Amino acid sequence: MVHKISGALTLGAALMLSASAFAQDKRVVTWNADYDPIPLAAAEALIADFEAANPDIDIQMTNFDHEAYKNAIRNFLTANPPDLANWYAANRMRPFVEAGLFADISDVWAENGLTEALASSVPSSTIDGKQYAIPYTYYQWGIYYNRDAYKAAGVEPPGPEGVSWEQFLANCEAFKAAGIDCLTTSSLEQWPVAGIFDYLSLRTNGYQFHSDLAAGKISWTSPEVRAVFDEFAKLQPFVSAGHAAIKWQDAAALLVQGKAANFVMGNFAVGVFKEGGMTNDNLGFMVFPEITPGIPRAEEAPTDTIHLTSGAKNPEDAKKFLAFMASAEAQSKWNAAVGQLPTNKNATVDPADPFLSAGFAALSTATGGIAQFWDRDADAEYAKAGMEGFQQFLVQPDQLEAILERLEQTRLRLYPQ
């Protein structure tokens, strides 16, 4: 059962929900979600499966507009908490956990052997040793490239193993000579630039260092961070000019049109590339090249999660549904419909989708670790300051000293030593 409403109507719809619940004998579990049409249909299919297996439980989902949800959740968690709510892993859920609004569901993890099945997502679901989230999907980041652009510039397209960093930069020279942007991005929304920085940092200093940097434990003026910006500086001349004024969809258009060759992006962008006319023949994917040799490869894979709220009226049945969402069957089905990767290692991935298969392979062999993405690993305010710094560096690389100095001051203010 699904209600589609906008944020302003929440209260009225919630009242209607409780009224309709009254009329039924079934035990009701309420779930607030923020799905776009395709994930919504997939979630409805899962609800139907769950209700067929548990005829005495009725899952009532209230679906919000994706952007409105980010504000709505702050109100409904205190004013009118549902049993279940969608959100994101790692630091993004921390404010709600610290305010006591998300409930501890370590028992669901323990009873269903999830630490084993969801092994790669344990760190991002855990705060202070307790689990607060059920991760049910993630997607890989990496470099998406246009084979036609490679051909036009006379550059050998990367093989399945990707290319070396030196080769990548050499290719960039060739693209520049051919009048093609080697790397496109958007910094109007600042997060795409954070993806580039994350990879440079992960490849230069490894997962643990990057994770400490995001947690405010590392000085921005340290030689290791400077090394990251040294690599960034090599890339900077090849990034599309005007990135600060375009949306990521506009940058995607540059890639589709062959005006740009590479794009560091998440797998959700494949849909946009294909809508623009690209096919599996000319759209390619490779993992970000190795920079410091020998560092275990870490990848970015932001995870979406479901949480039990502290104000849940029916926590028992809600936990049953959470266990269902963690299962391999449910995750295989939902992720196949949406085109993302299941977090359950026993789940299956459609082998006919080259990007999902490549992503699954890249993530399951990422021995370095799985990062959540800059704005989920770092605290919100710190993340924002960082992204502004990355953006400024792309526009004004000569301002590096001022940028690092400012970031360091922000760090010392937010994380007093």
Nearest 10 degrees: Cα torsion 3, 7, 12, 14: 60
Q: Given candidates 7, 276, 311, 368, which one binds other proteins under the rule CB under 8 A?
A: 311
Binding string to other proteins for residues 180 to 199, with x set by CB under 8 A, is what? -------xxxx---------
Instruction: State yes or no: residue 371 binds other proteins (CB under 8 A).
Output: no
Instruction: State yes or no: residue 404 binds other proteins (CB under 8 A).
Output: no
Instruction: State yes or no: residue 391 binds other proteins (CB under 8 A).
Output: yes
108 contacts 134 by C-beta, under 8 angstroms: yes
Q: Given candidates 173, 388, 397, 400, which one binds other proteins under the rule CB under 8 A?
A: 388
Residues in binding contact with other proteins, number by CB under 8 A: 38
Binding string to other proteins for residues 90 to 109, with x set by CB under 8 A, is what? -----xx--xxx--------
Q: For 190-277, where are the alpha helices, taking DSSP H only? A: 191-205, 207-214, 223-235, 248-256, 270-275
Identity of the residue, 173 or 388, whose beta carbon is nearer to other proteins in the bound complex: 388
Whole-number CA gyration radius for the chain: 22
Q: What angle do CA 340, 266, 390 make, to 5 degrees?
A: 155
Instruction: State yes or no: residue 406 binds other proteins (CB under 8 A).
Output: yes
Cα of first residue to Cα of last residue in the chain, in angstroms, is 51
Q: Given candidates 29, 59, 85, 246, which one binds other proteins under the rule CB under 8 A?
A: 246
294 contacts 69 by C-beta, under 8 angstroms: no
Instruction: State yes or no: residue 70 binds other proteins (CB under 8 A).
Output: yes
CA distance 339 to 415: 39
Minimal distance in Å, beta carbon 99 to other proteins? 4
Instruction: State yes or no: residue 249 binds other proteins (CB under 8 A).
Output: no
| Interhelix angle 223-235/380-395, nearest 10 degrees | 50
Which are the contacts of 75, defined by CB distance < 8 A and separation ≥ 6?
10
Identity of the residue, 254 or 286, whose beta carbon is nearer to other proteins in the bound complex: 254
**Strand ranges, E, within 96-175:** 126-127, 130-131, 134-138, 141-146
Minimal distance in Å, beta carbon 277 to other proteins? 17
29 contacts 314 by C-beta, under 8 angstroms: yes
Identity of the residue, 103 or 362, whose beta carbon is nearer to other proteins in the bound complex: 103
Instruction: State yes or no: residue 376 binds other proteins (CB under 8 A).
Output: no
Minimal distance in Å, beta carbon 375 to other proteins? 7
**Torsion angles phi and psi, residue 314, rounded to 5:** -135, 65
Identity of the residue, 246 or 287, whose beta carbon is nearer to other proteins in the bound complex: 246
By CB under 8 A, the residues from 291 to 310 that bind other proteins are 310
Q: Given candidates 255, 358, 383, 404, which one binds other proteins under the rule CB under 8 A?
A: 383
Instruction: State yes or no: residue 392 binds other proteins (CB under 8 A).
Output: yes
Minimal distance in Å, beta carbon 112 to other proteins? 25
Classified as helix, coil or strand, 167 is: helix
Instruction: State yes or no: residue 395 binds other proteins (CB under 8 A).
Output: yes
H-helix or E-strand containing 53? helix 37-53
Which are the contacts of 283, defined by CB distance < 8 A and separation ≥ 6?
144, 145, 146, 147, 270, 273, 274, 355
Identity of the residue, 57 or 312, whose beta carbon is nearer to other proteins in the bound complex: 312
- Residue 34 Cα to chain centre, angstroms: 15
Instruction: State yes or no: residue 375 binds other proteins (CB under 8 A).
Output: yes
Q: Given candidates 119, 170, 177, 241, which one binds other proteins under the rule CB under 8 A?
A: 241
Q: Given candidates 21, 244, 328, 400, which one binds other proteins under the rule CB under 8 A?
A: 244
Biggest CA pair distance of the chain = 71
Identity of the residue, 101 or 114, whose beta carbon is nearer to other proteins in the bound complex: 101
Instruction: State yes or no: residue 80 binds other proteins (CB under 8 A).
Output: no
Identity of the residue, 311 or 369, whose beta carbon is nearer to other proteins in the bound complex: 311
Identity of the residue, 339 or 386, whose beta carbon is nearer to other proteins in the bound complex: 386
CA distance 274 to 278: 5
- Residue 30 Cα to chain centre, angstroms: 25
Instruction: Give residues in contact with other proteins (CB under 8 A).
Output: 70-71, 74, 77-78, 95-96, 99-101, 187-190, 241-246, 250, 254, 259, 310-311, 375, 380-381, 383-384, 388-389, 391-392, 395-396, 406, 413
